[in-house]
Chain A
Amino acid sequence: MIGACKRSTKTNEAVLSGGGWQDRPVEREHRLIVRKILPGSAFWKAKERSVVFEFSEVVVAVGFVTCAGRFLPLTYHAFGPIYLLMVVMLSLRVGRWPVMAAALLSAIAWNFVFMPPRMSFSVLDVDDALMLGTYFTAALIGGLLTTRIHEQEKDERQRERRATALFHLTRELAAVRTLDETARTALREADDLFQARTALLLLSSDGQLKPHPLSSLKLRESDLEVARSTLHHARPNGRFMDDRSTADYTYLPMVRAEQVLGVFVLSLPADIARLTPVQRDLIHGFGAQIAMLVEREQLCAARESEKLLAESERLHRTLLDCVSHELKTPLAVLRAAGEKIDTPDADRRANLTEEIRQATQRLDHLVANLLNQTRLESGRLKPELDWCEVQDVLGAARRAVGRELAGRPITIDIAADMPLFMADAVLLEQVVSNVLLNAALHTPAGTAITLSAGRDRLTERVFISISDQGSGIAAGVLPLLFQKFFRGASRPAGGLGLGLSIVRGFTLAQGGEVVVSRSKAGGACFTIYLPHLDHSRVPDDEL
């Protein structure tokens, strides 16, 4: 029941641990490509350079071209295209204001330094004035256009980077199947992308904000206080998000459908002065993505627990129906027999005593099976493995079902090389006795039962098999055989249908396996396989 809702997380483990790359070459390739597009620090390289820096770049460029031009044996006409080329190249690096400045500065420099009269602003003829005017306009327009195209391209690239990052996160998280895995993946992705330490605070059922244990950022009480206020106001808070805030970290509430699920905290690198809109968008996008996944996992968990609840209710009903019938029948017998036991007729008294004995035995068996099943399901069953000897086990099991086996010829066939084996003697005895009881109840009275044991050399295991001479097990019933509360149609009356479920559970718990087959005589044959291990030598002694 529990097993059904537990989903495999192996593939993710493989990706996260890095050790399992070989398992998924496609995954590996994809991840490498993404890493190439998005090296760890790429996010922060996109930051804008200051305008002052760009202006000085412009001044230096104009100054350099002008000084260099003085040493070239060119007429002043040639400098028009040279300056134009410089402005266009500058426009690939700087913003629009610096480009305009470059156009203006270069026009002034051309006029002042190169156009005759040299070292003067006066323009001699109309040709030169026209050339200068045309140059300035061309430089301005060319520069501005190039800048615009360049900026658009830069925006495009940042958008793509953001989309890639989010796509990457989504893809990583799509395969994740538990809240813990989600948190782990999201936090690692965020760590990588933002070069930051991150923490995920989730709202627990009692209204407390609990840091997720996989968070790489450890929060102090004062940080938690900020997180709580972020949660309360459902607004981003802290560094870069609120100018008045003195907090060290950036706090993003995870809001889904008007409900705050938790707070995502980032400790961004200390040397960053401010966030560009694109970076801010990406961080918000990341927060929203994580919020969505947390919500998805919480809903999923809620649905699973609902399913579990429904399943356990169904089981409870079955259990209640079965148990009440199975308990009440022997109780009714006990009560009736108890009331009549003071009869003076000795024969009747003997009969009643036998009824009481049978009823108590039935109750005893019922309680034992219920307890065993509960032990199995509670997950608290811890087998005490120890060296066992097969005759011990078979003998104890036969004694446990002695009365039901009365009148049946029992053959015991133990291979001469049957070794000692590791098992929990008590559990194994229950396994064998349950199978024996099953055989006794489902086959005609007086038919033989064969117990055999030996070593399976092929698989290096030991086996104990119990075969009967009944009508065998119908193929259609096989898949249901080991399910709890399953009762065979041939069973006359009574029983909870727990016996074989316990057989399988106990055998698995000891590292073994149960196999059902058809016996030589046409009946059912249950074989219990257990691991075969070698024990240390037993010291010999003298006669």
Chain B
Amino acid sequence: MSSESAAYQILVVDDEIQIRRLLRLTLEEAGYVVREAETGLAGQNEILRRSPDAVILDLGLPDQPGIEVLRQLRKWNTVPVLILSVFGQEKSKVAGLDAGADDYLIKPFGENELLARLRALLRRIKPAVAVNLFRFGRIEVDIARRMVSKDGQLLKLTSMEYSLLQLFITHRGKVLTHRHILRELWGPKAQERTHYLRTYMLRLRHKLEDDLNEPKYFQTESGIGYRFICEHAGSG
């Protein structure tokens, strides 16, 4: 893992020195180079000067709300951003994600969770590899031919179900907000029609999950959206 992430530079924007120290410890151990900023303004300056590969942004900064920093940042930069928020801020998390953040993490967080999220974010900037076959669990997706099979048996997916699956594969490991998925699949007018999404997620899980009561791949992020988790993604 360390060889893979050796070159990556992570900027931590948080006013709590303990959190910064902890993140530095965790990230440096995992082989990342860590930069720190205490305020939103300092953070933006750091991004401008160092152009880090990913940013970990706290929502509660002393000089300006993290979401404001994000909005300003998105006007000129597309660096992946991971939001750090405290418990009970579902609304601001969704707002952050809709404002252009790529994922979020709730304080207090676990080390493994943080590193997994970061890997998913950095995957986006990895040189694109043409993937033809995508595997998770007993499922195999043939991207070129738009075909899905389970244990070698062909599964019948509607085109909408397939588009949903494809969206998840593209953003694997990352959270997708309800609005984002609805906009991608049904267009901007359908952004609020969450019952479409609930219905299709149920159908997709029904076809692809092993145990509906304990979905392994398509996980629910309450009040925010869904996350596609696949640890053993293979390509061929």
Contact = CB atoms under 8 A, between A and B. Distances in A.
Interface of A: 360, 364, 367-368, 371-372, 375, 384, 386-389, 391-396, 398, 412, 420, 424-426, 429, 535-536, 538-543
Contact of A371 (B88, B91, B108, B205): B88
B222 interface: yes
Interface string B149-160: 000000011111
Contacts of A538: 195-196, 199-200
A360 B202 contact: no
A541 B203 CA distance: 12
A386 B194 CA distance: 7
B-side interface size class: 20 to 34
Interface in B146-172: 156-161
A395 B198 contact: no
Contact of B159 (A364, A394, A542): A542
Interface stretch (B5-13, B21-29, B208-216): B208-216
Contacts, number: 71
A541 B108 CA distance: 42
Given A396-B220, A425-B223, A536 B212 contact: no
B199 A426 contact: no
Interface string B72-86: 000000000000000
Given A420-B199, A538-B196, A395 B158 contact: no
Contacts of B214: 395, 398
Contact of B222 (A367, A372, A425, A535): A425
A388 B159 contact: no
B196 A394 contact: no
15 contacts: A364-B108, A384-B223, A386-B194, A391-B205, A395-B214, A398-B214, A412-B213, A425-B222, A426-B90, A426-B222, A429-B222, A536-B193, A538-B200, A540-B158, A543-B159
A541 B155 CA distance: 16
B201 interface: yes
Contacts of B202: 389, 391
Contacts of A543: 156-159
B223 A420 contact: no
Contacts of B205: 391
B90 A384 contact: yes
B183 to A, nearest CB: 15
Contact of B194 (A368, A387, A426): A387
B94 to A, nearest CB: 9
Contacts of A393: 222
A535 B213 contact: no
Contacts of A368: 87-88
Closest 4 CB pairs of A and B: A426-B223, A387-B195, A535-B195, A541-B160
Contacts of B220: 392, 395-396, 425
A322 B142 CA distance: 58
A371 B88 CA distance: 8
Contacts of B213: 391, 394-395, 412
Nearest to A387: B195
Contact of B198 (A360, A392, A429, A542): A392
B195 A396 contact: no
Given A368-B87, A395-B213, A426-B90, A387 B223 contact: no
B93 to A, nearest CB: 10
Contacts of A394: 213
A389 B88 contact: no
Contacts of A391: 202, 205, 212-213, 215
Given A391-B212, A394-B213, A424 B223 contact: yes
Contact of A541 (B91, B159, B195, B198): B159
A420 B195 contact: yes
Central interface residue in B88, B157, B215, B223, by most chain A CB within 10 Å = B223
Contacts of B157: 543
Task: Kindly name the residue among B88, B156, B195, B214 whose own CB sees the greatest number of chain A CB atoms within 10 A.
Answer: B195
Contacts of B90: 384, 426
A375 B195 contact: no
Nearest to A372: B88
Contacts of A426: 90, 222-223
A417 to B, nearest CB: 13
A424 B196 CA distance: 17
Given A392-B198, A543-B157, 5 more contacts: A384-B91, A389-B198, A398-B214, A426-B90, A539-B196
Contacts of A360: 108
Which one of A386, A429, A538, A539 has the highest number of Cβ atoms from chain B below 10 Å of its Cβ? A538
Contacts of B199: 420, 538
Contacts of A541: 158-161
A536 B195 contact: yes
A538 B190 CA distance: 11
Contacts of A535: 195
Contacts of A396: 220, 222
A164 to B, nearest CB: 58
Nearest to A392: B220
Nearest to A394: B213
A372 B88 CA distance: 8
B218 to A, nearest CB: 10
Contacts of B212: 391
Nearest to A411: B213
Nearest to B200: A538
B198 A387 contact: yes
Interface in B182-236: 186, 193-196, 198-202, 205, 212-215, 220, 222-223
A326 B156 CA distance: 54
**B91, B198, B202 — which one has the most chain A CB atoms within 10 A of its CB?**
B198
B87 A371 contact: yes
Contacts of B161: 541
A32 to B, nearest CB: 53
Interface in B46-102: 87-88, 90-91
Nearest to B215: A395
A464 to B, nearest CB: 13
A375 B198 CA distance: 28
A115 to B, nearest CB: 106
Nearest to B198: A389
Which of A367, A392, A543 gathers the greatest number of chain B CB atoms within 10 Å?
A392
